[in-house]
Amino acid sequence: MVSYTGRETLLHLTYCTTFGISLSDIQAQPESQATTAYSRWLLDTAHSSSSFVLQLAFLPCVLGYYEIANRLYNDPSTVRGEKNRYWKWIESYVTEDYFEAVKVAKDDIEKAVVGAGVREVEEGARVFREGCRMEVGFWEMGLRRT
């Protein structure tokens, strides 16, 4: 069985081919500054924080994709189907299995916060805010032309 993450990676790689971008094209590109910053920040957080705080570092991404896709999917003004180049992306983040992944992430945080101390919760809040900032930078990267 392939995890959602594995399917998500395959989805993105397949999606790129619809724009004429191959895996070798992707691999030949230098990593963007936003991606470098975000991924290194996550690695630093993983090495220096508790699992509870690390879960909060990933939460802006997990929740953000679902919330954005869900809003677009349910917005009657959203163009649907092949007329919308992003429709497959939207559909992929409102599936039952992604919703279940979001639910599990939320439930895990709810359970973990019960055993966390005040300082760890404060650190988690700081990390969550920074994760939101990093996620915004990641999305803004798509607005830039190279």
**Residue 136: its pLDDT value, please?**
92
The pLDDT-based confidence of 145 (bands split at 50, 70, 90) is low
Give φ, ψ of 131 to 5 degrees.
-60, -40
d(CA 129, CA 137): 13
The yes-or-no verdict on residue 123 having pLDDT over 50 is yes
Structure tokens at 144: 């830039």
Give me the mean pLDDT over the 83-110 stretch: 92
Relative orientation angle of helices 96-115 and 51-74, to the nearest 10 degrees: 150
Sequence-distant (≥ 6) Cβ neighbours of residue 64 within 8 angstroms: 132, 135
Give me the mean pLDDT over the 78-94 stretch: 92
What pTM was estimated for this model as a whole? 0.84
Domain boundaries, the chain: 1-30, 31-141
Q: Which residue has the tokens 């019960």?
A: 114
CATH superfamily of 31-141: Heme oxygenase-like (1.20.910.10)
d(CA 95, CA 42): 26
d(CA 7, CA 11): 6
